[in-house]
Amino acid sequence: MSIEKVLNRVDWQKSDLLPVIVQDNANNEVLMMAYMNKEALELSLSTHIAHYFSRSKQRIWKKGESSGHIQNIHSFNIDCDNDTLLIKVTQEGVACHTGRRSCFFTELESGEANSEVEVSSEALYGVIDTLYHIIQERKNADAETSWTAKLMSKGDNTILKKVVEEAGEFSFAYKDDDEDEMVYEAADLTYHMLVALAVKNISPDRIKQELARRFDMSGIAEKNSRDK
C-alpha cells in the first residue's frame, strides 16, 4: 500500500498534529508521547526511524538527531477514532531529555522520581538546551527553594527587569574591558533570557534556526528585510 493511502487513514480534520504514544517493542514500556504532522509521519513511514513535529521548536525533528538516541520503528497502530497513533520502537540509548529511559518517571502525588538518570542530559543536548529544559521543569517547583520558580512567580515585569539589568551589567563589564566579568555577566544574561523564553515556551532551537537563516544574507540585507 502506498504511503499516501496510509496517511489518508488519519483523521487530519481534527488537527494537523497527531498524538503519538511510543512503546518499547521488547517489553511494552511507555517511553514518551509526542506529535507528528503529516510530513513527520511520512518520514517515519518511509524510513522506519521516528520523526516528530516539535511544538516548541516549530519544526520537524528526527528523534536522536543530536544525541544519537534514535528510535527504530517496528509497528504503527492507529486508534479507533483515527486520531492517535501507537508506535513500537527499539530505543537506542534513552528516550527522555533528562537522560532517563522513559519520560514517565515522576510519581504524580508525591512528585518523586522513580527512575535513575542513565545519561547526562548535558552530554545529550549541550549546555543551553539542558539549561532550558531545567528552567521548564522549575515552573512547578517550590518558590521557597528554587530561584527560577521564585523569579517566574513574580511575573513578567520582574523577569524583564532582570534581563535589562544583566544586559547593563554586561555592558559595564565590556566598557571596563574585564574579560572574566564579561563572561560572568554574559552567563547571567543568557540564563535570564532563557527564563523569559521558557515562560513563553519558545525553545532556544528556534533562535538557532533564525541565526542559521541569516547565514545566507548580509546583516544589512537582513535588517532591511525587517524594516519593510
pLDDT tens string 192-204: 999 999 999 999 9
Q: What is the pLDDT of residue 228?
A: 55
User: Is the domain 128-218 a CATH 1.25.40.420 member?
Assistant: no
143's CB contacts (< 8 A; 6+ apart) are 149, 150, 153
Average pLDDT over residues 61-84: 95
Cβ atoms within 10 Å of 65's Cβ, excluding its own:
11
**Cα–Cα separations (whole angstroms), residue 63 to 33, 66, 129:** 12, 8, 15
> Rounded mean pLDDT of 74-103?
95
Name the residue ranges covered by the structural domains of the chain. 3-124, 128-218
Query: Please, what is the average pLDDT of the chain?
Result: 91
Q: What is the CATH number of domain 3-124?
A: 3.10.20.810
- How far CA 203 is from CA of 121, 131, 200, 223, in Å, comes to 16, 11, 9, 23
| DSSP 8-state symbol, 216 | G
Fold matches, 3-124 and 128-218: no
Return all residues near 215 (Cβ < 8 A) that are at least 6 apart: none
